[in-house]
Amino acid sequence: MRFKDCKFRNKREVRKNVKHDILGFLKRELSFSDYNEGLILEYIDLLLDETDYDFKRGVFYKKVNWVRIDLPIKLLKNVSLDYIKEHRNDFLLEKVKEELK
């Protein structure tokens, strides 16, 4: 079941902790002062909302051919980093985009 559709106790805390972990990782890996933090947080929210979550076990997962593959937070961090690097211009601050022109 998608994370956005799950209803369980402490869902807000789970989202907050995972977002904090991913954002902290991105701040270490990117020159974060060049990026729009609001857009990055929106992307992280979208990533979490569209990922399946097993609230009984407390893990994100991907279903492939009737098999559930657990997705550790480390993998979600790397997916976020790769996506932001691939779509760098979409996440840069306007002043940085102007400087690059």
Q: What is the mean pLDDT of residues 45-49?
A: 96
Residue pLDDT, tens place only, 15-40: 999 999 999 999 999 988 899 999 99
Please state the separation of Cα 3 from the chain's center in Å. 12
Q: What is the mean pLDDT of residues 66-75?
A: 94
Average pLDDT, the chain: 93
What is the model's pLDDT at position 99?
78
What is the model's pLDDT at position 31?
84
Predicted confidence (pLDDT) at residue 97 exceeds the cutoff of 80: no
At residue 69, φ and ψ (nearest 5 deg) are: -110, 120
Burial class of 22 by CB neighbour count within 10 A (0 to 12, 13 to 18, 19+) = buried
Domain boundaries, given as residue ranges, for the chain: 3-100
